[in-house]
Amino acid sequence: MQAARIFNPMPMDRTEFSELIQSHHRVLYAYAIAISRSETVARDLVQDAFVAAWQSIGTFDVTRDFPSWLRGIVRNKWREHCRVYAREVAMDEKAFSRLEQTLAPYSEGDNALFSRLAECREKLPDPMQEAITLSYDEGRSSDEASAALSLSPAAFRKRLERAREAIRLCLSKSL
| Residue-wise pLDDT tens digits, 53-65 | 888 887 777 777 7
Q: Do 132 and 93 fall into the same domain?
A: no
Whether 8 maps to a domain, the answer reads no
| Residue-wise pLDDT tens digits, 138-166 | 888 889 999 999 999 999 999 999 998 99
Q: Do 44 and 127 fall into the same domain?
A: no
Question: What integer pLDDT is reported at residue 25 of this predicted model?
Answer: 84
Helix, strand or coil, per DSSP, at residue 7: strand
* Terminal Cα-to-Cα distance of the chain (whole angstroms): 35
Q: Do 84 and 144 fall into the same domain?
A: no
Q: Do 144 and 76 fall into the same domain?
A: no
Give the residue from 66, 81, 108 where a domain finishes. 108
Show the low-confidence residues of the chain (pLDDT under 70).
1-12, 86-93, 95-99, 101-113, 174-175
The pTM of the full predicted model, rounded to 2 decimals, is: 0.51
Q: Residue 156 is part of which domain span?
A: 112-173
47: domain CATH number?
1.10.1740
Number of domains in the chain: 2
